[in-house]
Structure 1
Amino acid sequence: MTEADAYAIFSDTIWAILIASGPVLAIATAVGLVIAFFQALTQVQEMTLTFVPKIAAIFVGLVASAPFMYGTLARLSEVVFDLIGSGGL
């Protein structure tokens, strides 16, 4: 295994992690911005208003995007296991 092969595996791994976590991070960011905008408009500074809806949205996002996350990580695992099986690693 050369340095280029190791770099390709690490690069693919990082991209898979970023792509798999993207939907949940986008949901958390969007809900956080909506809540912050609501708090700025109404002057309501309740701490539970910040955390409870965001946690609920993240949970729903995790459940909804679990098949996509599994598919992304399964493709990466398949590539790595094929490399191991062929003696590339």
Structure 2
Amino acid sequence: MDYNAAAFLFFGWNKDMGRRTPQLVEVRKGDNCDMRIAVVRTMIAIIREYSKGDFIWQSPRHDHDVVLSARLSDNAALENFLMHDFFDDRGQPQ
């Protein structure tokens, strides 16, 4: 990750292949305040392609699954959790 660009692997359901596959996702900063929030918002957009409600997040930082919400009304909590889960050790489900 640098100032204007980042990439991450998303290990989720691939509709085209009909199974879980790693997908390389490239992110540009765009009009986001920094790359961290650009990455988080890109991940949320991907999550919402697959889920509009509750979903299970496999958190490597917490070494267990966490139930989160992809609902638009829960966006702030989801952004906050993912920001911490990706970039520090304080992420806690809301």
Give the TM-score normalised by structure 2.
0.30
More RCO (CA 8 Å, sep 6+): 1
Larger Rg over CA atoms = 1
- Comparing both structures, which one devotes a greater share of its residues to helix? 1
